[in-house]
Amino acid sequence: MKYKTQIEAARKGIFTKEMEYVATNENINRELLIKEVSNGRLIIPGNKNHKNIRPVAIGELSSTKVNVNIGISKDCPDKDVELKKVKKAIELNVDSIMDLSCWGDTRDFRQNLVEVSPCMIGSVPMYDMIGNSGKALKDLTKDDFLKCVKDHAIDGIDFMTIHAGLNKKTAQRVKRNRRLTNIVSRGGSLLFAWMEMTGNENPFYEFYEEFLDVLYEYDVTISLGDGCRPGSIHDATDASQLEELITLGELTKRAWAKNVQVMVEGPGHIPLNEVKTNMIIAKKLLFNAPFYVLGPLVTDIAPGYDHITSAIGGAIAASSGADFLCYVTPAEHLRLPDEDDMIEGIMATKIAAHAGDVARKFPGAIEKDNNMSKARAELDWEKMISLSINPEKSYKYRQSAKPDKEDTCTMCGEMCAVKNMNKILSGEEVKIS
């Protein structure tokens, strides 16, 4: 084989079948696509062992993508329930599914997930290692870390969250600059604890090149995790977050040098007025590598509604440089989301992603809104429903309260502004009965 990864192929001028699919699907010029993949600003995650994957691009040239989190835990160990959620997420046309499993037979679940999903699959090896190594956290070794990453690569995972930026230097920054919510990243907190208990450097950082060699072999994209992402708006844009971000930029360049595709994860909780600033700083320090954000949530007071707080921040983030949005559900901070929570989270995040695409004038985005507006102007309810982001829900609402006359709805009835404007501009008399 002349290449092992998409970035290596692009640097050799090879137009892969994955690039061809993306170029057609997102209407990207062939030469420009090769250029953007070669310089790391566009990635096409796809493990060579994930045979049924539908290639997806993440980066400045592509539409904003949406990720869904699923996974089994000790309190919610039913794999069938999670696989049912996976099938629903695929039906709703998400771009990515991330397995956050941390208990039980995670490998069997992971392999099933890769087998059934055409969406790209992500994982966090740190969770799996803790749950299945049979060792206490402090007894884990670099070889345990490396074995877990290899297992995930062999199983077909397309991108892995690796918390390589939370090194001893950053850990000292965390201790000197105490936060309201400390470290809220699960993987980041485990690594911080491991470093404190052992006195050793983070293996993901100390032996970074060895991990990159594994990722290169299978064309796994490294998703550089932000162990110091803020868990409250009070802690946003602080010294710990920025210290780690600088390190993540350095690690990005080292991965590119090894022909490994890279994206970088970002916050978290950010007040509304700092979202755009965070995106600009991150893109600058990360050399315009694709940026993946959780939310961000713009207030901390809305448990049960955090899909909304997340969508507000996500829309601003997507319009300001974020390339990939991780969904947040109404269950965030409260419990593992069920299927209904997942659906609400997906829809909220897809709305945010589309709003961001419209704001940044992504080709074809505004046309979707214009088509909906045209259908509304024509009072074409069937077309409005078909064009909506969730036709099933739109249809249920329409059917639940049928109007007296089909060309109106039960809100305005004969006082419908659209109907009456159409009439008066056509020279007809408007009568309200």
Annotated binding site: 69, 98, 127, 163, 185-187, 226-229, 265, 269, 292, 333, 409, 412, 416
Name beta bridge partners: 162: 224
Binding-site residues from annotation for Zn(2+)? 269, 333
Max CA-CA distance within the chain? 83
In what helix (H) or strand (E) does residue 366 lie, and over which residues does it extend?
helix 365-377
Residue that is written with structure tokens 């084989």 in the block: 1
Q: Please count the CA atoms within 13 angstroms of the CA of 294 that sit on its side-chain side.
A: 22
Q: Are 66 and 327 in contact (CB under 8 A)?
A: yes
Say how many C-beta atoms besides its own lie within 10 A of residue 107's C-beta.
Answer: 15
Binding-site residues from annotation for [4Fe-4S] cluster? 409, 412, 416
Give Cβ neighbours of residue 167 (< 8 Å, ≥ 6 apart). Answer: 201, 202, 205, 206, 247
Q: In this structure, what token pair is assigned to residue 346? A: 């997906």
Strands 324-326 and 65-70: parallel
Give the DSSP letter of residue 297: B
3-class DSSP assignment, residue 325: strand
Binding-site residues from annotation for substrate? 69, 98, 127, 163, 185-187, 226-229, 265, 292
